[in-house]
Structure 1
């Protein structure tokens, strides 16, 4: 055998040299080879899995398992007293009155800031378009859902706001919730205000970006986070080069009634090289001399904001939403904005109603000053109520009346404020407590009575609203003190 091996030029094994080679080999190398050999032996002798090799049960055992099985509920248990299960029914609306559960009252509970919901001009525009196009398109914008009404509205808004492009969405909530993940992706960084709306929170969740929250409307805290990130970026410049950074805020915060410091925001944008997304659902057609929002109110260039989103379900009194920006920014949404690409387009009649509402604001130039006067009147009259605090800017149409000292029980405080709302309806004033998904909110605001002022309120109605709230707030607080 050895002669045969030598014939082909291969030396026979030398066991002494083999032992010497094992001695010289690194210990980790030998350990790895031993583990590998053991794994191969185990793999060879292990039994192959067979789907048929299951335990066979008798009929009695099978019946017992069926009887013992308890299915888990599809939804978590809900309190039978939850407000969502006992909703109020509106049977009539329009102008500044609502009929709720058969009781008529002055409306300061809905976001009909300009009184567009119920105006004959917007209703006629919607009816005329419905007769021409029907009630809907039954298709997304990218397929057969785009009509001339949509394109005309986008062109009108872009021209009205002085930007390159506008893009129309079919649902206000999905506008900002789709716009954020269209740009911010996994690996990016978003600096976000703690007080943003639930729609923004869902957009942030869908983006899968890294989130850093700063204190509500606190530009100093935002700059602190930006400075800390700048230090981190210097430590890892390669990562910083590919990481995109965004700041996400609201122009007028729906959960607080406060206005963003947009001048400082723009300063930080250029100082730290970040992009700014701003939701102006509550500030468009509300703030500014001509209703063009926070940028006009502060006197800054709208192009300094990279993306502006607006829900039309407030001041314009219709459905849907739109985004404003450069042509490059808007065109990207047409390909990656989920709410735009996959949702049926906005019914043309609603786009026509929104377009008519914009025309009205351009003709009635004093409408925004009248709204501002109403806002300031309500703010002055309700400020300083004993036991309460009024949150919100004086010129904001959104006010939040909150308890000065909370009990520590969120549900208990909510129920306390609900008593005022219920009694106010009996007195002819329609209010509402602010509603939230308590378990889902990133930063749950304190309970509050949300007051939404509108331009159609007369002087007598404003006086009645503030008088009813003051009297009932004091009465309920007194009852609480006597009960304790």
Structure 2
């Protein structure tokens, strides 16, 4: 029997249904029924509840708003410090605490730029021209000629193609990391990196592989392990970016990264290097260009360098420098750059003046290294403590030789030393950490910083005060321990007599 063309479509449909697997037919029929049911169902609109005034009052009384900030215990060290010490005037080489002048060994004013009259005068001139602030991000009427001038001078000083300014030093590296490394990428990070880097790692959502501090053998073993994994899954390896992240001069340990070995591993295992030079910029190298100059390695070997202007330069903010195409990417992807008001123009102007002074007088760097070495050598003669950090580092950590099992007890001991030193005219500080959020918590320590303007007499004063303070605190603790032991012995004597 012939089938007319008009019925061919229906015939094909019937044949397709008859030939299809039964489970497929059942699934499609169920799906069609479900769609029809949803289409025909009437929309649900709950009746609006009307509360009486009494019910409203009850709900208001029962409601407990969440606190705007977490509760802080009354004995928190930061609160005790605020109550104990009040700083008056400028924070320079000497500082006035509770009306008493103290030698300041607690801030990162390595080159003594904080308090220079030339810098202050330049900042005042800029203030009269630009006003106090820019009132906007760089991309939204926040860019002024002084920002572009500073970026140009920084890029030339660092021998890089381009530099980008951030208005806040902490946000510089914390924004730069997630601008390049995303979810699924791989970062090999030193376990002693500073908190700003740790926050950048969290924001990137990348997979982080931690290697032991300055342990290049451990880092290479991780790189070899990753290379083997890449060979097993080459498709994934093609789209995975890899970074090594280190500090030039480590804030938490006073050590310098082994940059020559890192560069060697970079080319051997095809990874990128991000170098955080917040503490080494204006400190290391013959002209203060940082750890690249210290090891005589071209900045072109480093994919990105990040520095702060808040330490040696004595200004505010930070910058990243490197190849033009790398830095340009941050102008749209660096969150701290895009969404923060730009650096106050007067502080950008003061940074230009500080950079000029550094270039005109590199002898400051020699003075800083000599003072650091002298202080380090004399600190090692203090009994009962270990000095952490290399001799040329202006950052020293003083740790107890025999720490207690209780971390809080060690912090209290060190704070007692700081208090004694403060009473003798030397301002120090106990290194503080956000303990629950730190990846690798450092042992308790007194953090001491060196200024290039320190004289031999002042160094001797610091050593004398520290030695006397530690000796006095150790004697107090020993006396307390003897008294506690004696009281325990007296309490146990009646029980001992009764047992006899």
Which residue, out of 78, 87, 100, partners 1:90? 87
- Judge which range, 431-440 or 308-317, deviates more: 431-440
Structure 2 residue runs of 5 or longer lacking an equivalent are 1-6, 12-17, 482-500
Any residues of structure 2 matched to 1:166-181 within 5 Å, and which?
166-181=163-178
Any residues of structure 2 matched to 1:294-443 within 5 Å, and which?
294-383=291-380, 385-443=382-440
Any residues of structure 2 matched to 1:103-252 within 5 Å, and which?
103-252=100-249
Give the Å deviation of 1:268: 0.8
Give the Å deviation of 1:408: 3.0
C-alpha distance in 1, partners of 2:102/2:295? 35
Contact 1:95-1:119 at 8 Å conserved across structures: no
The reply to whether residue 50 of structure 1 matches residue 45 of structure 2 is yes
C-alpha distance in 1, partners of 2:260/2:197? 22
- Judge which range, 158-167 or 263-272, deviates more: 158-167
3-state SS in 1 of match to 2:245 = strand
C-alpha distance in 1, partners of 2:163/2:170? 17
C-alpha distance in 1, partners of 2:218/2:173? 24
Contact 1:251-1:279 at 8 Å conserved across structures: yes
Change in CA separation of 1:460 and 1:384 when aligned onto 2, cut-off 3 Å = closer
**Cα deviations across residues 218-276 of structure 1 (Å, max 9, x unaligned)?**
21221121111111111111011001111111101111111111111111111111111
Alignment match, 2:72: 78
Give the Å deviation of 1:191: 1.1
C-alpha distance in 1, partners of 2:36/2:478? 80
- Judge which range, 88-97 or 410-419, deviates more: 88-97
C-alpha distance in 2, partners of 1:363/1:210? 44
Give the Å deviation of 1:38: 9.8
C-alpha distance in 1, partners of 2:380/2:202? 36
C-alpha distance in 2, partners of 1:376/1:348? 37
3-state SS in 2 of match to 1:99 = strand
3-state SS in 2 of match to 1:361 = helix
3-state SS in 2 of match to 1:135 = coil
C-alpha distance in 2, partners of 1:25/1:183? 50
3-state SS in 1 of match to 2:90 = strand
Normalized against structure 2, the TM-score is what?
0.86
**Cα deviations across residues 376-431 of structure 1 (Å, max 9, x unaligned)?**
11111112543321111111000111122332333322122111111111100010
**Cα deviations across residues 360-382 of structure 1 (Å, max 9, x unaligned)?**
11222211111001111111111
3-state SS in 2 of match to 1:454 = coil
Contact 1:177-1:203 at 8 Å conserved across structures: yes
3-state SS in 2 of match to 1:395 = coil
C-alpha distance in 2, partners of 1:166/1:44? 59
Change in CA separation of 1:217 and 1:49 when aligned onto 2, cut-off 3 Å = farther
Give the Å deviation of 1:165: 0.9
Change in CA separation of 1:147 and 1:43 when aligned onto 2, cut-off 3 Å = closer
C-alpha distance in 2, partners of 1:332/1:346? 19
- Judge which range, 159-168 or 471-480, deviates more: 471-480
**Cα deviations across residues 317-372 of structure 1 (Å, max 9, x unaligned)?**
11111111011111111222112222221112111111111111122221111100
Normalized against structure 1, the TM-score is what?
0.89
Contact 1:311-1:321 at 8 Å conserved across structures: yes
3-state SS in 2 of match to 1:211 = strand
C-alpha distance in 1, partners of 2:61/2:433? 40
Structure 1 residue runs of 5 or longer lacking an equivalent are 1-7, 12-20
Give the Å deviation of 1:89: 2.6
Contact 1:284-1:293 at 8 Å conserved across structures: yes
Alignment match, 2:494: none
C-alpha distance in 1, partners of 2:445/2:177? 28
C-alpha distance in 1, partners of 2:130/2:64? 51
3-state SS in 2 of match to 1:93 = coil
Contact 1:103-1:425 at 8 Å conserved across structures: no
Contact 1:115-1:454 at 8 Å conserved across structures: yes
